[in-house]
């Protein structure tokens, strides 16, 4: 039974991701969670939370494709938090993710053995810091919703994934 559930959810998530239709994917997630409204699973974000998250930024992290360093975001956190909160909430309401936040610099990192072989390198993606802040906010809300649903109805343990993108598979791959 567990394998059948896992296969169903993984197949469904894979179908949604391959179709490229994020709206139908979100509709399916909302149906799964027993929600009627499009954005019922994610609440409006609060400005003070963004200020705190911006002030906790690690300024030594690499800058993404947008060219905005963490140090600048940290310094002006109280000034830009209202604007970022508005943009984040608009993205949640409309279901549209900003294309520029999807762009990443991919850098190969050497692992071991022969440096001339491609398989001895692993890629890392450097994303814009603002997209990581948004991802963290969405992940924390989705994790709490899925965890509550899991505990009350589905009875599937949820592992904490490293990224929001992995949330669906970690929810289903038990």
Nearest to 84 by CA among 71, 94, 98: 98
N-to-C CA span, the chain: 12
Give residue 67's pLDDT.
93
Residue of 162 and 34 predicted with greater confidence: 34
Residue 149 has a pLDDT of: 64
Q: Taking 50 as the threshold, does the pLDDT of residue 171 lie above it?
A: no
- Range(s) of the domain holding residue 111: 2-172
């Amino acid at each position: 039974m567990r394998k059948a559930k896992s296969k169903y959810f993984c197949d469904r998530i894979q179908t949604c991701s391959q179709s490229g239709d994020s709206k139908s994917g979100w509709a399916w997630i909302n149906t799964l969670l027993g929600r009627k409204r499009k954005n019922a699973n994610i609440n409006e974000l609060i400005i003070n939370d963004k200020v705190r998250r911006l002030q906790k930024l690690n300024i030594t992290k690499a800058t993404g494709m947008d060219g905005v360093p963490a140090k600048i975001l940290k310094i002006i956190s109280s000034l830009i938090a209202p604007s970022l909160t508005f943009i984040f909430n608009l993205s949640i309401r409309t279901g549209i993710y900003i294309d520029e936040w999807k762009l990443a610099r991919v850098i190969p990192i050497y692992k071991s053995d022969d440096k001339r072989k491609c398989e001895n390198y692993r890629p890392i993606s450097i994303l814009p810091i603002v997209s990581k802040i948004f991802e963290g906010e969405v992940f924390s809300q989705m994790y709490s919703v899925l965890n509550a649903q899991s505990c009350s109805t589905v009875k599937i343990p949820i592992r904490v994934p490293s990224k929001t993108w992995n949330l669906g598979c970690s929810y289903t791959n038990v």
